[in-house]
Every structure is written in C-alpha cells, then in structure tokens.
Amino acid sequence: MAGEPLLRLDKLSTHYIAGGGLRVVRAVDEVSLSVNAGETLGIVGESGSGKSTLALTIMRVLPMAAKIVGGHMWFEGEDLVQKTDAEMREIRGKRIAMVLQDPMASLNPLFSIGNQIAEPIRVHERVSRASAWERARGLLKAVRIPSPETRVKQFPHEMSGGMRQRIVGAIGMSCEPRLLIADEPTTSLDLTIQAQYLNLLRDLQREHGLALIFITHNLGIVAKMCDQLAVMYAGRLVEAGPVSRIFNAPEHPYTQALLNSIPRMGERDQRLTAIAGQPPDLSALPPGCAFAQRCPQAFHRCRSEAPPVLHPRPDHTLRCWLSVDAPAERPRVLAGAAAV
Amino acid sequence: MGRYITRRAGYCLLSLFLLSLTIFFFVRVTGDPAALLVEPGASAEDIAAIHHQFGLDRPLWVQYGLFMWTLFHGDLGQSFYYQTPVFDLYMSRLPNSLMLAAVAMIFSLIVGIPSGILASVRVGRFWDSAGKMFALLGLSLPSFWVGLVLILVFSVYLKWLPSSGAGTPLHLLMPAFALGWYFAAAHMRLTRSSMLDVLGSEYIKLARLKGLPEALVIAKHAFKNALIPVITLAGINLVIMVNVAVVVETVFAWPGIGRLLYEGITFRDFPVVQGVVLLGGAMIVLVNLLVDILYATIDPRIRLER
Amino acid sequence: MSTPSDVVVLPSPSPTPRRAVRRLAIRFGDFPVIPTAILLAVALVAIFANQLAPHNPEIGSLTARFKPPFWQTGGSMKYILGTDQLGRDVLSRLIFGARVSMVVGIMAVLVAGVVGTVLGILSGYLGGWVDQVIMRVTDTWLALPALTFAIFLAAIVGPSMWNIVIILGVTYWTRYARVIRGEVLSLREREFVRLAVVAGCSKWSIMARHILPNVVNSAIVLGSLMLGVVIITEATLSFLGVGVPPPQPAWGLMLSDGKQGLMVGYWWLTVFPGLCIMLMVLSANLIGDWLRVKLDPQLRQL
C-alpha cells in the first residue's frame, strides 16, 4: 500500500500501575503496527495478552490504573497520544468507533434503543433530535433489524442477543467512522448468528470503506475476515503480516503453536497440540523473550536477551531470535554464551 | 409474576405471625405479664383481677388466641396514662413522625447522593477519603448526642432555633438534621458503591466509547441506574426513621411516635410500648413487601425471571 | 485540561531494597494505630478505674454542684472536668463509664456472636426445616428496627447491666446468623468438607472441626464492626432510662443527666460523655473496616 496508513502505532506501551508504582503490569509493551484504510487487521492472542488493553488504548478509554507510558498513535496524520481529553472525545465514536464483547451488558437497560443509537449522532454532529432518530431508524435497517420503526422505541431487554449485538454494531457505525475496532464481538453469540454478524460487518465495511481491527482468539474468524494479522503474546507483538503468509508459513514458534492448536478439516489424526505451560506474569517478565519458557525451540539467548523487532520482508514483522541466528549456528551461540 | 407476589405475601404473613409470637412470648417468658398490665402501685387483688380479665390463668395457646383475636380487631388495648385506645394515640402522633421523617429524608438524600457521586467519581482520591471519613462519623455519632450538641450551639449559645416542641418549620430543622445525619452517611455509602458498580459496567464503557462528554456519561447513563437501589433503600429507611426517631424525638420533645414510646417507658404504660413496637414491626414488614412488589413491576428482568 | 489524564511519564523504578521496605509498608502500613491505641487506652482505664478515678463516681458533694471544668472561671483542679447536678466528678464518672461500655460492648458482642454463629452454622449446614425455621426468625427479627426491639425488651425485663447484655445479644445475633449461614453454604461445597463426609465424619464433628474454624474470621470481623453498634445502642437505652440504672456511671446515663443542665449552658455534662462514645465507636469502626479488608475479602460488600 502506498502512502501513510490510516493508523500507525509506534512503540506504544500501556502499563497498569498499582501500589504507587510498585507493581507495574506491562499490558501493552512497545507495540508497533499499522492498519490501512479499508483493510481488516486481526489481532490474536491468549486472554491476558493485552489485546483488549491495546484496543482501549487506541480509544483512550483506559481504566484508571492503566497509563500510556510511551509511544505514538498516528491516526490520519495526528498523534492520538498527544490529544487532550476533549480533543479525543471528538474523535471517539466519530472517527474511530469500537464494539464491545458483551452485547447483553453494553446497552444501558434504562434507555430506548433509538435513544442510544441517536446519542453519538447528536453529540458529534449536533443535529436535531428528529433527524438523529431518523438516522437511527436507517441504521437499524442497515444492520438488518426488521421493523425499525417500532424497534427504536423498544428497550434492550426486549431484544435477542443477536439483535443487541447488531444494535451495538449500529451504534459503532452511527457516525460513519474511518476505523472500527471490534473486541471479540461474537464470543457470546451462537454459530449461525455469529456468521450472520460477520457477514454484516464485512458488507458494512465494503459499503463505507472503513478499516476494521478485529480482536479475537478465534483463528477461524481471522481466516474469514482479515487481510492482516498481528499476534500478541504477553503484551508484545510477536509476529505480524498478511494473513495468508502467516497462516501458510508462520515463523514465530508461538504463532506456530497457535495454528497447531486449531483442529483442521480432513486431518482427523492430527494431534491437537495445546501450548504447554502458562503465560508469564506481566508484572514480572523474564529478561529475555516472554515466550521462552514455553517455547520448544528456545535456546540460551532467548532467556537472557529480549529479541529485536525484525522485518524479514517489508510487510512482515517478527520478534524472535530464531530468525537472527540460523538453527545451525545455535550451538555455537550457546557455547559462546557459556564462555562469556 | 403472580406467583412471585403470592410467595412474597406469604412470607410477609409468616413474618407478621412470627412478630406477634415474638412479642407475646417475650412478655410471658420474662415474668408475670400482669405486673406489666396493671397500673403502677396496684394491689394484689387488682393483679388477680387482671389475671382473670386477660385470661392469664388459661393455657398459653388460649392466651395467644385471645391476644391475636384482639389484635385482629385493631384493638391494641387502652393506654393507662392517656386513658385512650393505643391505636388512636398512635394515629394521632403518626403525622408528626412522618413529617419529621420526610424532612430528615430529604436532608439525608440532598447530602448523601451528591457526596456519594463525588466520592465514586473521585474514587481513591481526596474527596473519596473525605466522604469515607464523613460516613464513618455519621455511623459513629449517636443521634441523640448530635441533637444535644445542636441544642447547645443553636439554642443555648446562638439562640437561633427553638430547642424543643413543634409548631413552626424552625422547630423541624434540628431534629431533622439529627435524625437525617446517620441516614445521610448510609445513603452516601450506598450511592458510592452503587455508582462504582454502574461505572464499571460495559454500557458505561460504551457510552465513553461513543465520545460522550464525561458529565453526560455520569448524569445520564450512570446516575439513573445507580439511583435505583438508593431510592429503594430510602423508601425502607423512611419507615425505619419513623421507628428509630425515639431518641431524637425525646431530645427535642417532638410529639411523634418515638416520643409516645418514650412516654410509654417513663410512665410504665405497657400497652403503649407493646402497641408501638407491634405497629412499627408490622409497618416495616409491609413496606418490605411493597418494595418487593414494586421491584417486580419496575424491573422487567425480575418479572421475566420469576 | 491541557495534559491528557491517561498519559504519564514513567518514573524510573526505585532500587530493590527500598522497594521491599515499601512492600512491607503496603501490607502493614494502613494498620489503624491510633484507633487501636484509643481502644487499648479505654480498656486499661476500664480495668484500672479504681486506681485512676480521683473521686467516687457515685457519691458527690451537694456543695460542689455544676462546677465547670478547671479552665473556666469557677472551675478547679479538684474537679478537672467539672461536676454534675449531684456534685459528682465528671472525670471519675467517665472513667467508670468506660468500664460499663467495655463490659457491655464486649459481652453483648460475644453473646450475639456465639448464638448467631452457632445458629448460622446449624442453619447453613443442616439445611431443610432447621434452615427454614432459623432463617424465617432471623429475617423477621432483622426487619424489626433493632433499637425499638431492644427498647421493648428492656421495658419488659427492667433495667440492669446484665439484662442489657442479654437484650443486645438477643437483638443482634441475627446479623451473625445471616452472614455465617452464607459462608457455610459455600464451605459445604468445598473439597475438604466433602472429603470429611466421605471419610465418615459425623455431621456434628464436621461442623465443629471443619466448618467452625473457617467461619471464625468472619465472626471476628463482624464482631469488631458490631462493637460500635452495640455501644451506641447501650448508650441510647441508658439515655432513655431503660439501660444501665442510676446511680451507676454509664456514658448514656450521663448524657441523660446532662440534659438538665443543657439549657443553662452546662455544656461539659453533654460534650464529654458524647466525645467518649464517639471516640470509642469510631475506633471500633476503623479497626473493623481494616480487619474486614485484611481478613475477609468476602465481607467487603457488607
């Protein structure tokens, strides 16, 4: 892609700081990645790998204990990290929107659907109540909710789970954002509704040309939806690149393990390899690679030094010593390290 | 929902039964009820007469039946001191008590809700700690002492407010403050924790993600949801206020139910004491039922679940 | 706002030894030193009241009535905090009043705690009709305003210090029963209890040896929180004339006596006993709050 991407994160770090700075959880640690206009980026990782914190960091809606401690977020030429709270409020919901995990809990039970969809439109575009509600009806139709005329006046508890999720989607789309972040938007839905919802998102994306960031731990969804993939582990980005390349030739051992852990059609005998061990405590990370303890291919250097960020190809990011030191040289390195 | 209300009403009846049983039982287990039922200074013949009149010489279950029979007829006995039915006395004092409780409630909500919201929005910072301290003080100061100090300052030294009695709105100020003080602390605590619950919810996160100004997030999305438990508690507390106002009403000589109870104690007017406690308990049991029903009608989720 | 609230510059981490010290400080640093000191002081005063009090608390001299504290005109060092309407020394009465508050407070909490804990365990562990009966009674009694109920009981049994202890115990055991029952319900499903059942332990030995030790923490936390409530209720009953009978020196009784001098400005009769009650109750509440956070995370909602 030519030109500047829509969103480019540059060594972004967000830490949870507790106990007056005594306990620091590095939820997002020097993450750099980018999303182009109209493209879909999938971010995968185990729970606790920092994906959700990363999304909240982009939105700048962090819990009180979490702080952005470094890096930049370039969005349409502006650095979101430098924005004041008031400036950020004008971007949030308008130019970047986000859809949360739980559709049951993310709608306010005491306000009507129309009220909640019209709300961002009224705040950001300062239009009249009547026209905001008119747009709310249009949005309900766009997310394929039947008889929007009556639905706008109803309350969240009168809707099914799938409907509520589509309403949350409608709220996200209400001000026609340039970028939509979806944080595990389908985990609470059953499979058919999940598929419908994903199709809906893809259609909306095509119609409006918006960029999508898809946060998930479901690699099936990534395969179906995404152009680019970023793999996170323990707050760090370990591998990123086009989905097709990473699926066909994963280079980071964690990505490999992740891909091995999904069952494949037709390969009935293939063993499902769960990844042994536990992810590390983010407040006491080992000095080297965070994955070293669970990595089947780890060698001495992995445990002592954090791997550098590599770009084996222009669109491929990798953080692993294996690509620096070819396997054949490994014993030498080991011996050399021992000599030191 | 019909079944839910029926069950609640059943519990309520059971509670009323247990209440009457408790009071009946305690009066009889702690000594000769005749000693409580005769006027102070009665002779042995009087006591014997009382025994017969109230059926105290009959088996316990017959006695209980008699006790309940008179209760069902709204007969709580005759006050020794006033020589009028206890029920009439109670009803004549109730408006005063309700007025005092209402003013105290308004005061406690005006203080408790905003300070609770402030504490929740500034959780862990100065205003939160200040609020916590205020709540602890509210729970640690006996209301009658607050009342006495108020009299000392505003009546004795400053001579701004009347120290006792009823009649003008000025008479209400100090008793309402003394009574509302404790409840202000309770309402603040609940508002704070309820706000914290709501502020941690996904729909507040979504409201922020929509780019709404923080003031709107708090005022529209958080406040309304957080208020539901506070209002419920306030409803129950209003009735509790009527029943715990005894010390405050004593200190300020406010002619309410609490004062009636105090008079009953000092004049050894047992029917009055028993009547006030019985009616107070019944009132609270009924209000709890009312709240349950209200909840079931207001909150659609309860309606669907049960 | 000029600087965004969620963006910070990270301070450089402090060296490890100091960190360790601060870690300790975090664990014990919020220990309520002053409240503990106050409660200990009150306890010592209560124990050594005979040695500490300068005068007999129950006998005054009628020639020395309504003396103000020593720093006011008319006051003297003989009666440091003044005298009451019978010429009794306020300080001595306060000192002996500490004894009443301590004894009533601790004993009533113990009575309520033992009764409530036992019934809560029975109710939670045995279930069935035992549970139904105990919980129905608990709910009904909890619904009654505790103060009115205590006044009623006090009015029928007559005033005495030990009656007050029993009355407060009878009034407040329900709060223990509710909380303890809830705890037992979850304990009952735990692995070690199930193992004990499988191993053939009897119900009673399971309740005594496996359940009881696990609810003691909650009972202690609840007890420290109840201490303040109980002391206030005792003062209120005494104030209304159904508590500790005169001439015994109880703080609530002193406030009741103080009413007589209030309108003519004998403030010391009202202010000092009230301050004593407040200090003691506030201390008990602060300690209770601290214990609740440290000992029993489950009770935090309380």
Closest residue in chain B to residue A177, using alpha carbons only: B210
Q: Which of residues 212-241 of B touch A (CB under 8 A)?
A: 212-213, 216, 220-221, 224-225
- The answer to whether the beta carbons of residues C270 and C255 sit under 8 Å apart is yes
ipTM of this complex prediction, to 2 decimal places:
0.80
Q: What is the pLDDT of residue B38?
A: 67
Q: What is the pLDDT along chain A (340 residues), one digit of tens a residue?
A: 456 889 999 889 998 887 666 778 888 888 888 899 889 999 998 877 888 889 999 999 888 888 888 889 999 888 888 888 888 888 998 899 998 877 778 888 888 889 999 989 998 988 899 999 998 998 888 888 888 888 888 888 888 888 888 888 888 888 888 999 988 777 767 777 778 888 888 888 888 888 999 898 888 888 888 899 999 988 888 899 998 888 888 888 888 888 887 665 555 444 545 676 777 777 778 888 888 888 888 888 888 888 888 888 888 888 888 877 655 544 444 433 333 3
Average pLDDT, integer, range C171-189 = 87
b/e map A261-295, b = 16+ CB within 10 Å = eeeeeeeeeeeeeebeeebbebeebbebbbbbbbb
* Chain C nearest CA to B17, separation (Å): 9
Exposure on the CB side of residue C141, measured as CA atoms within 13 A: 25
C-alpha span between C150 and C154 (Å, rounded): 6
Cβ-based burial of A311 (10 A; exposed 0-12, middle 13-18, buried ≥19): exposed
- Close Cβ partners of B182 (under 8 Å, ≥ 6 residues apart): B138, B139, B141, B143
Burial of residue A330, with CB atoms counted within 10 A of its CB: 0-12 exposed, 13-18 middle, 19 or more buried:
middle
- Mean pLDDT of the residues in chain B: 82
- Which residues on adjacent β-strands are paired with residue C27? none
Region C192-206 average pLDDT: 84
**Predicted confidence (pLDDT) per residue in B262-303, tens digit:** 888 888 777 888 888 888 888 888 888 887 777 776 655 554
How far B219 CA lies from chain A's nearest CA (Å)? 13
For residue C236, what is the nearest residue in chain B, using CA coordinates? B247
How confident is the model at residue A337, as a pLDDT?
39
Of all residues in chain A, the one with the smallest CA distance to C20 is A22
Q: Do C7 and A68 touch (CB under 8 A)?
A: yes
Extract the tokens encoding B118. Answer: 């402030």
What is the CB-side half-sphere exposure of residue B286 using CA atoms within 13 A?
7
Residue C15: closest CA among chain A residues belongs to which residue?
Answer: A22
Q: How far is the C-alpha of A228 from the C-alpha of A240, rounded, in Å?
A: 7
In this predicted structure, what is the pLDDT of residue B306?
A: 35
Contacts of A333 (CB under 8 A, 6+ apart): A299, A300, A301, A325
Task: With a cut of 90, say whether residue B46 has pLDDT above it.
Answer: no
Q: pLDDT tens for residues C207-237?
A: 888 888 888 888 888 888 889 889 998 988 8
Mutation target for B interface from C5, C38, C132, C140: give the one with most B CBs within 10 A.
C140
DSSP of C173-188: HHHHHHHHHHHHHHHH
Q: What is the pLDDT of residue C13?
A: 46
Chain B residue at shortest CA distance from C171: B22
Using CB atoms, which residue from B208, B211, B221 is nearest to A94?
Answer: B211
Q: Which chain C residues touch B19 with a CB distance below 8 Å?
A: 140, 144
Which range, of A316-320, C1-5, C147-151, C252-256, averages the lowest pLDDT?
A: C1-5
The answer to whether the Cβ–Cβ distance between B163 and C274 falls below 8 Å is no
Question: Which tokens in the block code for residue A170?
Answer: 């409608």
Instruction: Determine whether the interchain pair A102/B202 forms a contact, defined as Cβ–Cβ distance below 8 Å.
Output: yes
Q: How far is A56 from chain C (nearest CA, A)?
A: 11
Q: Which residues of C touch B264 (CB under 8 A)?
A: 155
Distant-in-sequence, close-in-space partners of A299: CB < 8 Å, separation ≥ 6:
A321, A325, A330, A333, A334
Q: Which of A67, A86, A88 sits opposite C8 (nearest CB)?
A: A67
pLDDT at residue A106, as a whole number:
87
Distance, in Å, from the CA atom of A4 to the CA atom of A289, rounded to the nearest integer, reads 31
Q: Which chains touch B (3 or more CB pairs under 8 A)?
A: A, C
Lowest mean pLDDT, pick from A65-79, B93-107, B164-178: B164-178
With a pLDDT cut of 90, the percent of chain C lying above it is: 7
**Better-predicted residue by pLDDT, C237 or B67:** C237
Q: Lowest mean pLDDT: which of B30-44, B222-236, C34-48?
A: B30-44
Instruction: Choose the closest CB to A110 out of B202, B216, B224.
Output: B224
Whether C288 shows a pLDDT value over 70: the answer reads yes
The pLDDT tens digits of the residues spanning C105-159 come to: 999 999 999 999 999 999 988 888 888 888 888 887 877 778 888 888 888 887 7
pLDDT at res. C7: 67
Closest residue of chain C to B241, computed from CA coordinates: C145
Q: Do A92 and B221 touch (CB under 8 A)?
A: no
Amino acid C117: pLDDT: 93
Confidence grade of residue C12 (pLDDT, cut at 50, 70, 90): very low
Q: How many C-beta atoms surround the C-beta of residue B168 within 10 A?
A: 10
Number of Cβ within 10 Å of residue C59's Cβ equals 12
Average per-residue pLDDT in chain C?
A: 80
Per-residue model confidence (pLDDT) at position C298? 53
Q: What is the pLDDT of residues B136-146, one digit of tens each?
A: 888 888 888 88
Question: Cα–Cα distance between C208 and C225 in angstroms, integer?
Answer: 24
Strand partners, C83: C89
Give the percent of chain C with pLDDT over 70.
87
pTM of the model: 0.78
